Every structure is written in structure tokens, then in C-alpha cells.
Amino acid sequence: MGGSGSGRRMRWDTKDAAESQHRIDIRWLKKNNYLRPGISGTLSWSRGDEQTGWIRYTMEHDRMNLRYRYRRSGEEWQDIEQSVYFDHTPCNYGGSRKWFLCPHCHKRIAVIYGAGKYFLCRHCYDLTYSSQQENPADRLIRKARKIRKDLGGDDSLTDAFPEKPKHMHWKTYWRLRDEATHAENAGWLWIAEKFGIHF
């Protein structure tokens, strides 16, 4: 439901990544039927097999109430109670869509992040997405790995390229294989030029 991602990069000039934070996505809550007034329970996050956090929640008609404990490094634990209010926008074919209102800036948002004492929007915590911090080589290598996985293979670039999936046209397969090969080669070339590596 919003488990932690791969964490921040070890560079001094980068912002914290949104994917590395505990987060609550209102779309996930709606999909799992948790937005009904009167519903209560626990939300938890994990990385691999290790639980990294949990909170209690109750739903009301106009808001989600959160109860959890928070501790800043070197300080005592604090009991926190927070209410996050809802807003609605009409849908094109009737009904309405529910949003969170950020408790700090009051913007309409789908995801709130526990990057500090309270759950707020990405902008209030100045979070960025990991993909926004990628250099060109990161993006190219990620593209090559994604194509491999989409074809049913492993994302390791050292493994043989995946075979054509059943029912996929050969033309499509060769196009994807060419895209993956081009992206991988361009990524390594960017790295070589950046660091003055000669093959």
C-alpha cells in the first residue's frame, strides 16, 4: 500500500525521494473499499519482509483520522492525532472523485506522505520522484531493463535477452529488442563519456 522504495541516492544535491517515504494513497483506499464512514483499522508499510511503520485510522464522512507515534532522531516518542479532510470533484459521467486536502497547504491531492511529524503533500515536504533525479544513463538503463521484464525476462542486463513471448508478433518483438539494445548501448556510452572511459 505505499511501502518504501529504494531510498535516497547518496548525493548531497538531491532531494528526498517520494518513493522512500511512508505514504497513503486515496486511490488505493478507494480500490480496497476503505473510505466508507465508520471503517477503522491499521495501515502498515514494509520493505521486503521487514515492517517499517504502521498507523491506526478511522474514516468519517468528511475526513480520515490518523493516530500514530512519531520520534525525531534523538528525541522521545510523541503520540500524534491528525485529521486529513476530503474534497470532491465531479466525474464526467456522474458521481464524484474523492481527494485528500493537504493539511498544510490545502491543495487537492491523491497521496499524503509521512516524511515528518505529519502526513502532508509531496510539495510541502519538497519531495521529488526518483526518476526526476536520474541522469541520462539511469533513464536509458531503466528503459532497457523494463523492456526485458515486459517480455517476461529478468531485468539483469547480463542475462540473455528474453525469448519472444507467445502470441507476440515478431515485428513487435524485434522492435522492442532493438529499443532495449539501443537504450542499453546509449546508457553505457553516456557513462563512458562522462567518466572518460575508453573501450
pLDDT for res 94: 82
Min mean pLDDT across 2-16, 48-62, 134-148 is at 2-16
Q: What percent of the chain has pLDDT over 70?
A: 83
- Say if CB 180 and CB 172 are below 8 A apart: no
CA 135/CA 53 separation, integer angstroms: 31
Task: Name the least confident of 49-53, 59-63, 133-137.
Answer: 133-137
Domain ranges within the chain, ordered by starting residue: 18-130, 134-194
| pLDDT tens digit sequence for 153-168 | 887 888 899 999 999 9
The Cα-based distances of 76 to 67, 69, 70 in angstroms read 17, 10, 8
Closest CA to 175 of 142, 147, 196, 140: 147
CB 85, CB 99: distance < 8 Å: no
**C-alpha to C-alpha distance for 57 and 44, rounded to whole angstroms:** 11
87-101 pLDDT per residue, tens = 999 988 888 899 999
Report the distance separating Cα 179 and Cα 186, nearest Å.
Answer: 10
pTM confidence score: 0.57
In the block, residue with C-alpha cell 536509458: 140
* pLDDT of res. 91: 86
Helix and strand numbers (H, E) in the chain are 3, 8
Beta-strand pair 108-109/96-101: antiparallel
Residue 48 pLDDT: 74
Q: Which of 2, 20, 36, 8 is nearest to 110 (CA)?
A: 2
The band of 129, judged by pLDDT with boundaries at 50, 70 and 90, is low
Residues in the chain: 199
Query: Does position 195 have pLDDT exceeding 50, yes or no?
Result: yes
* pLDDT over 70 (residue 13): no
